[in-house]
Structure formats: structure tokens, C-alpha cells
Amino acid sequence: MPLRPLSIAFVSPFFPLKGGIARFSSALHAVLLKRGHKVEAISFKRLYPRLLFRGKTVYEQGVSCKPGNEVFPLLDTLNPLSWVAVARGLRRRKPDVILCAYWFGLFAPLYALIKQVSGRKMIVLMHNFASHETFAGETMLRNLMVASADGIVTLSQHVAHEVRKSYPHVPVRALFHPVYEPVRKMVPKEEARRKLGLGSSESVLLFFGYVRKYKGLDILIESMPEVIRRHPGTQLLVAGEFYYGEKMFRERIDALGIGEQVKVYAEFVSNDRMSLFFSAADVVVLPYREASQSGVVQQAYGFGRPVLVSSTGGLPEAVLDGETGAVVRALDPSAFSEGICDFLDSMKSVCYEEKVREYAKELSWEVFADKIGAFAGEVAG
């Protein structure tokens, strides 16, 4: 249990808003409450302008749009008056510390205003040092936010290094991304594959999550002909909402002649359906061109699945190479086909699932919450 319970105002997207940040913040909110802290979750009633949002809906599919207990959707990114109202409310309530989730530079003015108007201590929970979709003025906006921060928490040493290099005067605490516990129980592998129309595959690779350029799905697609040549029973399952290139990818799969071995589910996968995809997989592949860290790795670990990742950013920190997965050192199709084939060969002698489940115990939400609570206590004084 924490040494001293704190009053925390947590500003972030929360469930039922969809996406990795909302899922992370909802899980952290729940465990902070269990650890004895008083946490006010301040969410968004409008998160992105339509111009920036390319998904079908901002909410999890199949769930009520009504927020859960102690979650207050008060912020509208397009209405600065809502920013001021939230900041003034925090000035009246005087929480010990404000915790703000940061992943995209355009939110920096919001957090800077909340800090200035409320006058409270502020910690930035920095998911990404730089936005995945870069834009002019991002560095200036990040400088504005960091100038307002009394402390920064990162989810990898990689991001912590970037922060310390650019902002050596700001206290930084490098933590980790906790492992997500499955919302639904896993189903037998063969049953999951049958339900997904994969048949009796020898091995199944899973690419999971939003499809964006930086995630390198093109690298994985281009690597598949060689993988299939060396391991003919292998199939690739792509599951996630496309933010670009769905038609392009489908045409390239057909042109490579691998349409029978690559199954594409172009839709957002809710927490309820997630277990089906991970149950069907032998390994989850992340050929990312850039990454601070990835919640997909922690989702895979929660389901007992090993991961095959690129060596970019903070991804290698989350993998015990040869035990909980493998790291591919070069970012090209040839290297990934070689890495995938080596991994499939190693499955005969390495019990990856057992090693993953043992490693996952070290990355619990309870440990993370206590560490962030201790840091918040230091910042709050």
C-alpha cells in the first residue's frame, strides 16, 4: 500500500473512449483507487477535431458511451472555455498533484493552461516524446508543456533519455508499461483459428492494432513470401482499424500471391473480442519504424504470447531476447523474414509462453501505481 494516500487529478482520455491511451489511463485509474489514493478522472467529451480523427467512432464498439464511476468528461479540445473551467475547478479543490497523459503535441497548450490557472503541482505521464505524426511547431509546444511540468514519468528508458537530453532540469522517473490482464478468457488455439477462418495453420503470426505508417505493416507484408516458402504452413493475421492504405495493402497481398496465407480484419478490435485474436496466434509481430514503447507488447504478454519486435525506440527494453520473444536488428523485409523463420524454428526448443507468464509478473499495475504514487508524493512535497 502507498506510504501516503494522495489526492490526484488525472487528466486523460478514459474508457469508453477507445485507443491505447484511454485503456492505459483507465487501468491506472482503477489501481490507484485500489491503492488508497483519491483520484478524480477528468476525461474528454470531444477529443479530436474531425479533421484529425480518421476512425469510424471515438468510442469502444458495443459499449455504452456513458463514462464509468468517478470519470468526468469535462474537456473539449476545441473549446478553451472548458479548459479554463476545469483549471478553475482544480484551483478550488486543491488536489495534491495533477497527472496529465501526454502523447500528442497539440495537447500541450491545454496542460500548460491547466497548470497556470490551477496553480497545482503537475506531473506529465509521457507516452511519447514526439508525436507519431509529426507537425510544424511540435517542439515549441512540447517546450511549453515541459516548462509547466514539475515532474515527468516515462514508460521506457528510451523516452526518459530523450527527456533528460532535452530538458535536464526537469525531474524524470523512468518506469515501464504494465502488462494488461485479458478482459476475456483465452479459448483453445484451434478453436480460435477455426472461428477466424484460419483453418489448421502450422503457425500464426499476429499484427495487432491501428494500422499507421510508422508501424511498418508494409515491411511485414513484404517479408511474408520468404517466410511462407520456408514455413509453408504459416499464416499472418492482421487485425486492426486502418488509418491509411487498406486498399494498397490488399492489392500488394494479391500481387505477392499470398492472399490465402494473409487474413485481414480491417476493424477496431474491442477488449471483448481481443482474446480471440491472441488465442489464435503463436507470436505477435511489431515491425515498427519508431516507438517509445507499445501497449501491444503488454497485451501479448497478458495473453501469454511472445513478441517479435524491431530494434527501434524502447521496444527492445520490453523483450528478453530468446525468452519472451526476439528482436530483429535491421528494419527491412529480408531481416524480418529471417527473424520470423528463426523464431518459428526456435519454438521447437523454447517454451516461450511459460517464460512470458513468469516475466509478466514483474510488470504489474500494482507495482507501477506504487512507483508513480511515490514519485507524485515527492513532487507534491
Going residue by residue through the chain (381 aa), what tens digit of pLDDT does each one get? 446 899 999 999 998 888 889 999 999 999 999 999 999 999 999 887 655 545 556 666 555 445 556 799 999 999 999 999 999 999 999 999 999 999 988 899 999 999 999 999 999 999 988 876 667 788 999 999 999 999 999 999 999 999 999 999 999 999 999 999 887 888 899 999 999 988 777 899 999 999 999 999 999 999 999 999 999 999 999 999 998 899 999 999 999 999 999 999 999 888 778 999 999 999 999 999 988 888 999 999 999 999 999 999 889 999 999 999 999 999 999 999 999 999 999 998 889 999 999 999 999 999 999 999 999 999 998
* pTM of the full structure: 0.88
Sheet containing 234-239: give its strands across: 262-265, 234-239, 203-208, 283-286, 307-310, 325-328
Q: What is the mean pLDDT of the chain?
A: 90
* Domains of the chain, each with CATH number or no CATH: 7-178+364-380 (3.40.50.2000), 189-360 (3.40.50.2000)
Question: Does residue 297 contact residue 307 with C-beta atoms inside 8 Å?
Answer: yes
Question: Looking at the DSSP assignment, which residues form a beta bridge with residue 124?
Answer: 100, 152
Burial 185-215 (b: 16+ CB within 10 A, else e): ebbeeeebbeebebeebebbbbbbbbbbeeb
Rounded to whole angstroms, how far apart are CA atoms 348 and 172?
42
| DSSP one-letter code for 180 | P
DSSP state, residue 216: -
Tens digits of residue pLDDT in 244-296: 899 999 999 999 999 999 999 999 888 778 999 999 999 999 999 988 888 99
What SS3 class is residue 42? strand
Cell of 255: 500481387
Give the per-residue pLDDT at 2.
47
